[in-house]
A and B are shown apart, each in its own frame.
Chain A
Amino acid sequence: MNPYSGAQFFEFFAILARRFGQFFMGQAGGLAADELQLAVLVCSAIACGLLGPFLVLKRMSMFANSLSHTTLLGVVGAFLFASHWWGSGMTDLSTLLLGACISAGLTAGLIEVLSRVFRLAPDASIGLCFTTLFAIGVILVSLFTRDVHLSTEAVTGNCDALLSSDLRLAASIALLNAILISLFYRPFMLMSFDESYLRALGFSAPFWRFCLFFLTSLTVVASFRAVGVLVVLALLMGPYLTVRLFCHQLTRLVWLTPVCGVAIVVVSVALSRHILSASGVPLSTGGIVSLLTALTFLGGASVRVVMRRFA
């Protein structure tokens, strides 16, 4: 029995707080579906929020977008490989790593080849690369599964039917991102502002750029099944752009962005439950996250306008 069924918006938080208490007393039992969803989304929000500032500063957001498309091919490739030779499923960590490697390598490599060897303009090479790879991915998926729904889900994800293994994955990616960003904060910061200074200090700029790209790829692939690439994109861009309206210091931005993302995600899960209770329509939580991200930015922007007028 889900303790949240029938809960209204504010009731949701009350039940959440009570469950927290029970959890620490050891009486909670397993995670309820809503709690699992909340936990996975919070982990994704943290993972994305940490990367978002660097991606935007490095002007790699359309790169991230192309990753979100090519991931499909990486995942299909990894899945085929894993099910043939390892006999393991998609949620396995090694399969996931393989998928991330395939998609990051393919995307970065192909874009590089198209712009260096074939001398295409950057926008043309990015566009050509991800549309082609995505088309191949979709065709492979529909060849092997003969199911249109899977390819739809590949884009939108399904964060309304999660497993506890998804939580393990999302948590480990969030932890990995947090550790790497805090350990190597300095090279990441220098890379996004002043690559020549980074080189002068003896770091390799392409290496760190690929690191950022690979971390993004890992995050996208990990969230692929659970929350969908779309939510990842929204969480990569939205919180950072909102926080940026008010704050211009990178250190603060890097920890405020995940906080903002987490806030958006918590409210969306509560809202999704509220709508389900009130009207009986289960909406896609991922869609609610994107809509709320948009609204958050609009809210932030209007606050900013008001602040300017009275400052």
Chain B
Amino acid sequence: MDLWFHFTDPILRAPTIGSIFMCLAASLTGVILLFQRKLLISETISHAAYPGAIGGIFFLSMFGPEFERFSFVAVLMGAIVSSWLGLKSIRWLERKWKIHSDAALCFVLALFFGTGVLLASGLQQIQPLWAQQGHILLFGQAATLTDEHMLLYGLLSISCIAFIVVFFRPLQAILFDPVFAKSVGIRTRLVERIFFWLLLISIVTGIRSVGVILISGMLIAPAVAARQFSHQLKTVFWLAAIFGAVSGWSGAVLSAQYSLPTGPMIVLVSACFALVGLLASPKRGVLFRLTRLAKFRLRCMEENVLKGLWKKPMNGLELRRHYPSMLSFVLSRLVRHGWVIKTQNGEYHLTRDGHKKATAIVRLHRLWELYLTEQMGRDPKFVHASAEEMEHVLTPEIEAHLTKVLLDPQKDPHSQPIPGKVSV
């Protein structure tokens, strides 16, 4: 399949470019909402746009069928008005009636969308020819986008992008520390008001290709995916834009290929991005965290075995009694590192390097026990368990500090000698 063909072909051009732009605006706005922790508001606003969109079609249908090709403008206008009303009523419910935002969001969503359904059922009966225009707003349809749509929606998305580029600095300050932003003279009210309109416009733009019900997914998934890969606001914006554009494009193509509803396909593609980000991103991904945890556990086991062998050489049977889990794997690793060797009679001995390493661990263990008793005033009987854990995590810096605080001690609380510092 020739990809470039989608951008040049006169019929495919508008759906391709149109849905890319729509999803781009939505996913950029999603990033701002993600940092504000208000992602669910997009769900309510998009549902609140439905009655207005249907109302717009209703209004236009009164002028006669020759206006049908302008219905997308009516949809856009109506949707903006009613989602503005929805956003205002959420605030009214929260401030005036002290309703928690969670309940207010759900309430406004249900009522507005219900009213939309009511209007749509009326449209179906009164103007059945126009009802199809209302139907495609539920789940979106990219295939029927025309060049006029593309121009209008492209313009709206570009204005969203322009806002983010121009107001990047103030936006960054407001997102991370609103009080600071205000104190350095950023006009937070103005930026927030513009953002309010940006949110409305980007959602209302997206409903033509993704649909009223699922456009919130388009705000959420790319932002979540992008957040997994970076800590920097600028990078998160870039990544979200890329994820959004790619899923808008490939969702539209897939849905046309298999004649499936467009909105769900787009959302599914972007959910795949989010899934990959959540699982496999370096640093924040679950796979990474699990491997790090597993590595740490393994290191603890290795160090425990080394410590055991430091006290006295043991054969396999004895070792298994003390360290039952994964012993053969741990031992093979220790042998490979050159810290442990197996002698003729089946006993395991420490090598020179292994001995040094084990000494260091024992030293940490006993230092910590002494610190707990002397500095924290704990009973020597109860310090062993804590030291068993701390010996694996104490860094050389903390070790140096402990040595200084405890005045380079020689005996631990149980009168065992503390081995001197060794360089590994």
Contacts and interface: CB of A to CB of B under 8 A. Distances in A.
Interface of A: 56, 59-62, 64-65, 69, 114, 117-121, 123-124, 126-128, 131-132, 134-136, 138-139, 142-143, 148, 151-152, 155-156, 230-231, 233-234, 236-238, 241, 245, 281-284, 286-291, 293-294, 297, 301
Contacts of A286: 114, 117-118
A139 B138 contact: no
Give chain B's interface residue range (CB within 8 Å of chain A). 35 or more
Contacts of A245: 97
Given A281-B126, A282-B125, A286-B114, A123 B39 contact: yes
B239 to A, nearest CB: 15
A64 B106 contact: yes
B214 A287 contact: no
Contacts of A135: 214, 217, 263-265, 267-268, 271
Contact of B106 (A127, A155, A237): A237
- The dominant DSSP class at the A interface is helix
Per DSSP, are chain B's interface residues mostly helix, strand or loop, or mixed? helix
Nearest to B125: A281
A127 B102 contact: no
Given A62-B40, A233-B110, A131 B217 contact: yes
B216 interface: yes
B103 interface: yes
27 contacts: A62-B102, A69-B213, A118-B286, A121-B34, A121-B39, A124-B224, A126-B40, A127-B40, A128-B271, A128-B274, A131-B217, A131-B221, A131-B267, A132-B267, A134-B213, A139-B265, A156-B117, A233-B106, A236-B110, A237-B110, A238-B111, A287-B117, A287-B121, A291-B118, A294-B114, A297-B111, A301-B96
B110 A234 contact: yes
Query: Which of B96, B116, B220, B263 is packed against the most chain A CB atoms within 10 Å?
Result: B220
Given A155-B213, A286-B117, A61 B261 contact: no
Contacts of A65: 43, 105-106, 109-110
A60 B286 CA distance: 27
A139 B268 contact: yes
Contacts, number: 179
B337 interface: no
| Best-surrounded residue of B105, B118, B120 (most CB of chain A within 10 A) | B118
B99 interface: yes
Nearest to A56: B103
Contact of B264 (A64, A139, A152, A284): A139
A59 B224 contact: no
Given A128-B220, A281-B125, A237 B103 contact: yes
Given A59-B103, A119-B284, A142-B260, 17 more contacts: A118-B278, A120-B224, A123-B37, A124-B220, A127-B39, A132-B267, A139-B264, A230-B113, A236-B110, A281-B125, A283-B122, A286-B117, A288-B118, A291-B111, A291-B114, A291-B115, A293-B110
Contacts of B119: 287
B282 to A, nearest CB: 15
Interface in B323-363: none
Contact of B260 (A134, A139, A283): A139
A301 B261 CA distance: 41
Contacts of B278: 114, 118, 120
Contacts of B411: none
Interface in B88-136: 93, 96-97, 99-100, 102-103, 105-107, 109-111, 113-122, 125-126, 135
A138 to B, nearest CB: 4
The 8 A-B pairs at the shortest CB distance, nearest first, are namely A290-B114, A287-B118, A131-B217, A284-B121, A233-B110, A61-B106, A135-B264, A294-B111
